[in-house]
Amino acid sequence: MTGVITKTKLNNGLSVLLKEIHTAPLISSWIWYRVGSKDEPTGLTGISHWVEHMQFKGTPKHPSAVMDKAISRVGGMWNAFTSMDWTTFLETLPSDKIDLALSLEADRMVNSVYDPQEVASERTVIISEREGSENEPLFQLNEAIQSAAFKVHPYHHEVIGDKADLNSITRDDLYQHYRTNYIPNNAVLALAGDFNSKTLLDQIRDLFEPIPAGNIPVHLNRPEPPDRGEHRLTIEGPGETTYLQIAYRFPSATDADLFPFMVLDSLLSGPSNPSAFSSGGISNKTSRLYRSLVEKEKAVGVFGGGQVTIDPFLYATTITIHPRSNPDEVLSSYDAEIKRLQNESIPEADIQRAIKQARAIFAYGSENITHQAAWLGFSEMFANYHWFNNYLGKLAEVTPGDIQRVAQTWLVHQKRLVGTYLPDGKAEK
């Protein structure tokens, strides 16, 4: 039975996916809500992330301090993430304690307490988090690139939101966002681990099926218009390090070009994880940009990657400029590598190494029980579990011609943004 996927939908619309893995006495449970920062209109940016925080403030039945101690006492862990497209909550526990996670999630789907004092306290925490990030040069550069790239599409703001909105969002705004989006027919419950699927599904039905369905939220639909040329910007701030970031459009999760793009990423700057929650890393010292920039002392470091998202987002390469170099020289070397990809034949050995690295980092990020459960739900946010199952096979099918076509189609000057962070030589805060 190990590895078999059970997929069903409860009467209230909650999607449930179960995967038995009997290698360890553990179960990981993830509940995914189809709401993220792209669902936030101007004036409410950051509200999804803030609601995620509030969901840890407890219910009358499950006070937050009691739940935290209960999960820690049995050797479990819990956490949550908010992205542009979704919000998810997870617990990984000994298999005989999974009722703790299920009862908690069923309860806080409908009974979370949004106490005004807790809202005020969390406002201070999140604004402090935002201000701390603002002291980081790469946060400033990333935010400037993202807002310039999306003038219409709601991917334009950071998940944490704009400070003006964090100061003005009210308790009622938060509670309304919660009640609108945290409904069973807007959610996916995914579990992997040491259980019997039929027994566990019965338990899930008992806890979740009494929760009434709600009206499916209407998602913002504001496609970004075509790019009309290269966009350059400069950020100035404290520090002594100069950074360069080049960003192009990146295919959506269901675009066939995603897979050759992931191999191109491995070849160009080193393999990157396609998800935010995966772990594991592979050296990028065999990548073309590392060899042409770091080894030649034009850069101190280079990394790149793109997020798997519902709508096309960004593929960004971030370069830490060597003190003896400058952004113009580095950008010229970077462009030379892009032209090589677009115009020169790629040695088969390079392709196979890039595919092997891209496959390896994906495998590392999906090998444990917690990540197996995560992929069950994550892939449902934009496709289905077949996307996950077919990922390695799709990478293996990538050809040199695919990579060259993707480079010629996506990595063009008219579709990119170039951002530079120039330090003022003063110490960072």
C-alpha dist (Å) from residue 121 to 67, 114, 357: 19, 11, 44
Please tell me the predicted confidence (pLDDT) of residue 169: 98
261-286 pLDDT, tens digit per residue, is: 999 999 999 988 887 766 556 788 89
User: Same CATH fold, 231-423 and 5-208?
Assistant: yes
Radius of gyration of the chain (CA): 23
What's the mean pLDDT in 7-29?
Answer: 97
d(CA 177, CA 17): 26
- The answer to which of 132-141, 193-202, 385-394, 403-412 has the lowest mean pLDDT is 385-394
Please tell me the predicted confidence (pLDDT) of residue 300: 97
- Residue count (the chain): 429
31-69 pLDDT, tens digit per residue, is: 999 999 999 999 999 999 999 999 999 999 999 889 899
Of residues 367 and 23, more confidence is placed in 23
Question: Measuring CA to CA, which residue among 89, 86, 120 is closest to residue 381?
Answer: 86
d(CA 371, CA 358): 17
Backbone phi and psi for residue 300, each to the nearest 5 degrees, phi listed first: -90, -30
160: number of CA atoms within 13 Å, CB side?
Answer: 17
Of residues 425 and 103, more confidence is placed in 103
Task: Assess whether pLDDT exceeds 50 at residue 252.
Answer: yes
- Whether residue 19 contacts residue 373, with contact meaning beta carbons closer than 8 Å, is answered with yes
Alpha-carbon dihedral sign for residues 348, 354, 356, 362: negative
Task: Assess whether pLDDT exceeds 60 at residue 1.
Answer: no
Mean pLDDT over the full length of the chain: 94
Confidence band for 428, pLDDT divided at 50, 70 and 90: low
- The answer to which of 130-134, 275-279, 302-306, 315-319 has the lowest mean pLDDT is 275-279
Strands 243-250 and 313-321: antiparallel
Please tell me the predicted confidence (pLDDT) of residue 366: 78
Alpha-carbon dihedral sign for residues 315, 320, 326, 332: negative
Task: Assess whether pLDDT exceeds 80 at residue 260.
Answer: yes
Backbone phi and psi for residue 161, each to the nearest 5 degrees, phi listed first: 90, 170
d(CA 370, CA 92): 7
Q: Please name the residue ranges forming H helices in 46-90.
A: 47-54, 64-73
Please tell me the predicted confidence (pLDDT) of residue 362: 84
d(CA 106, CA 365): 28
- Whether residue 412 contacts residue 228, with contact meaning beta carbons closer than 8 Å, is answered with no
Please tell me the predicted confidence (pLDDT) of residue 107: 98
Please tell me the predicted confidence (pLDDT) of residue 102: 98
Question: 300 Cβ partners below 8 Å, 6+ apart?
Answer: 294, 320, 321, 322
Domain positions in the chain? 5-208, 231-423
| Superfamily grouping for domain 231-423 | Metalloenzyme, LuxS/M16 peptidase-like (3.30.830.10)
Work out the percent of the chain whose per-residue pLDDT is above 70: 97
Task: Assess whether pLDDT exceeds 50 at residue 17.
Answer: yes
d(CA 30, CA 375): 9
Tell which CATH architecture fits domain 5-208: 2-Layer Sandwich (3.30)
